[in-house]
């Protein structure tokens, strides 16, 4: 039940990241003013959208629109999409009112977590890439080794400590997390925690700890949260999850025990569900995870694998 990356949101930006161009300042300066270049504008990790009569559409700035922000805001080069350079600008240090005064009146900022599921997958993936990268920059203004300020380098793909006695380079961080659908062949284990909407049940998940394999992380997390023992662990797929900077690594995990004991304060409930139970979720007032998540994709693939 392998989940293809093309089926996942935030995983298909269709970009040539062109890492070799990140050090070419002359080329970058030309591309910033190239009429075909496009810019993703962020404010407090929210993305820019445009109101239309039918729907709200993701909005990319052109070079003229981006000029006021490039002068005072951090930016990064993301890559080339269909031969056009794509950049991201983080305007979080400017008030939202100041930003909207510089733009068309029908533009507004929205959280990608809300808007992502209704976007085209490539655009959602591009927004996610830019969001995760600039979030990392916002949290690494100072060197973790000496405490001095750091500066953005390599077109936004590195920060360097400005202390001449240190000078340590810092690179964008991604936090690996395992997310697993535990099952016994006929039933799967889903849980509800206080972060989820009322009535929503999802797969178990947790961050990988130092010194453990992904499979060990799956078994540990399931045991810690529900006291269920897991045997075989099979890779399902992976998904960038820019909320804020995670990589979700999906697995199917075969249960070897069945009595649930909640051992995690975050979990409010956990239950075994058959495929028929899951098909009746909506009628019962229950919800599956949002369709932009790998959790939803794994659950649906498991239902179809009957």
Domain boundaries, the chain: 5-139, 142-172, 175-304
| pLDDT tops 90 at residue 182 | yes
Higher pLDDT, 200 or 52: 200
| pLDDT tops 80 at residue 54 | no
* pLDDT band (50, 70, 90) for residue 64: very high
Q: How far is Cα 127 from Cα 141, in angstroms, rounded to an integer?
A: 22
CATH 3.40.228.10, applies to 175-304: no
| Confidence (pLDDT) at 2 | 86
Give mean pLDDT, residues 95-101: 89
- Sign of the dihedral defined by the CA atoms of residues 94, 112, 39, 4, in that order: positive
* pLDDT band (50, 70, 90) for residue 101: confident
Give mean pLDDT, residues 117-125: 94
Rg from Cα positions in the chain: 22
């Amino acid at each position: 039940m392998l989940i293809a990356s093309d089926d996942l949101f935030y995983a298909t930006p269709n970009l040539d990241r062109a890492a070799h161009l990140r050090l070419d300042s002359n080329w970058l300066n030309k591309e910033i003013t190239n009429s075909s270049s496009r810019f993703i504008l962020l404010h407090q990790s929210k993305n820019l959208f445009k109101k239309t009569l039918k729907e709200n559409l993701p909005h990319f700035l052109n070079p003229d629109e981006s000029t006021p922000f490039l002068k005072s805001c951090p930016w990064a080069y993301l890559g080339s999409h269909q031969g056009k350079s794509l950049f991201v600008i983080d305007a979080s240090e400017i008030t939202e009112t100041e930003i909207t005064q510089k733009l068309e009146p029908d533009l507004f900022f929205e959280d990608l977590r809300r808007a992502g599921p209704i976007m085209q997958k490539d655009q959602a993936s591009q927004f996610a890439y830019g969001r995760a990268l600039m979030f990392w920059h916002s949290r690494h203004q100072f060197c973790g080794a000496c405490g001095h300020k750091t500066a953005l380098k390599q077109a936004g793909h590195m920060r360097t400590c400005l202390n001449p006695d240190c000078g340590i380079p810092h690179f964008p961080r991604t936090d690996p997390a395992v997310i697993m659908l535990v099952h016994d062949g006929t039933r799967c284990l889903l849980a509800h925690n206080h972060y989820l909407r009322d009535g929503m049940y999802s797969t178990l998940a947790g961050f990988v700890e130092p010194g453990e394999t992904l499979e060990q992380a799956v078994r540990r997390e399931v045991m810690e949260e529900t006291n269920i023992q897991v045997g075989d662990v099979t890779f399902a797929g992976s998904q960038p999850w820019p909320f804020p900077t995670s990589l979700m690594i999906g697995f199917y995990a075969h249960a070897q025990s069945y009595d649930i004991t909640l051992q995690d304060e975050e979990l409010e409930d956990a239950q075994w569900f058959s495929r028929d139970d899951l098909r009746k979720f909506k009628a019962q007032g229950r919800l599956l995870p949002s369709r932009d998540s790998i959790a939803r994709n794994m659950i649906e693939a498991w239902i179809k694998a009957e």
